[in-house]
Each structure stands twice: as structure tokens, then as C-alpha cells.
Amino acid sequence: MTDGTINGEETIVKIDEIKTLTDNTPTTTGNMYAWNQKGGVVASSTKNITGIYDLTGGCYERTASYIANEDQNLWDYGKSLAYNNNILKTTSTKYTMVYPHDTNVDNLEIERSKENLNIASKANYDKNTKIYGDAIRETSVAGIGTTSWEKGNSYFLAHEYPYVEQGSSYWNAEEASRFYFYRIYGLSDYGGGFRAVVIPIT
């Protein structure tokens, strides 16, 4: 049964076309690959037909991390995370990560421009040399650009973007690698989510 938008004969044609595919070329309609092509098993997490497919994109995930550069967005969008009463938390806690930032290029006196933002992102990334385990330093070689593994976006926090997202959304296409991270305002967004992690006490 269909909703009337799919023609059974067209579906059969697509399946027959998939069966004849070679050289990792997609079908002319639907951009589909055969199961044993690059868009098939090679795209699965286990490199076989039973693996998990399309691990990139989906929705980006918010993290409980920020830079304490005193930007207004820390208060507007993360008061409960970044503040203890009215005092900005400047060191990491059990539940939050506060990344170091370069106060020479990331302070409230610096003009907000794209050029200065990228300078600050790079400098803040360079300050982050001793923090591992968050898939930032391990997977990227710079604080700006598509410099993360699998050509993922790698933009470190700076200026009015004091929070970090990871994983990206499906509409970011090739830049939405599993190792993508990006600077964000912190405001709500239908394209984002978060992941709760429960760790047993031993």
C-alpha cells in the first residue's frame, strides 16, 4: 500500500538499475548506490551490510562547555550553566568544561567582525593544548576551517559564539562529519539536540 505518490513500476526500475551499478556510480534517479558500493557497506560503521549507516549529520549536539570571555550570550543563553548566582564560572566543574581563551584577541573591547572572530577562534584553539578527551584536539589541526577529520568543520569558540556544538546537522553536507565542531551563540534551535550520559559510581 502507498500514499499514491509512488508508482510500483518506477520502484522496480530503480531496483533493476541498482543491480547493474558498477564503479561506485549512483543511479540516475534517486542518487542511490548498490549495497556493496561506496554508498553501501563502505558507508556503514562496520563496513558490512549489517552496520550502522550515515553517522554524520542528523542533528548537532550541544555540549556543556564554553569559554568564559564575559560575552553577553553567556548570560542570555547559558545563565544556569555558566553562572553561579551572578558570578561567571571561569574554571571547569564536574559537569561543565570551561575552555581557555586568549584574552588579547577575545575580550569585550575587540570589534566584532568576521576577521577578528576567526583570529580569536584560532588563538583560542591554540590556547587549548592540554585538554583531551573531547574530540577537538584529537581530531582537528586548526581552530578554523574544514580542518577536522573527514573534512569536518573545525571552528573553535570565540567572541559572541562562546558555546560549542558537535556533530552538525544533515544540511551541512560534506562539512557535517562525525568530528565536526562549531562555535554557536547558544540560543535555541530546532536543528540541535543534546545527549545525556549516565556514568555509574564505582
Q: Which residue has the higher pLDDT, 8 or 69?
A: 69
The domain locations on the chain are 1-53, 60-194
- pLDDT bin (cut points 50, 70, 90) of residue 86 is very high
Mean pLDDT of 21-49: 67
| 187-198 core/surface letters (b: 16 or more CB in 10 A; e: else) | eeeeebeeeeee
Assign residue 159 a region (left: φ > 0; alpha: ψ between -120 and 50; beta: otherwise): left
Residue, of 18 and 107, whose pLDDT is higher: 107
pLDDT in tens, 155-177: 999 999 999 988 876 666 666 77
pLDDT in tens, 108-129: 999 999 999 999 999 999 999 8
Q: Output the pLDDT for position 59.
A: 74
Mean pLDDT, residues 43-58? 68
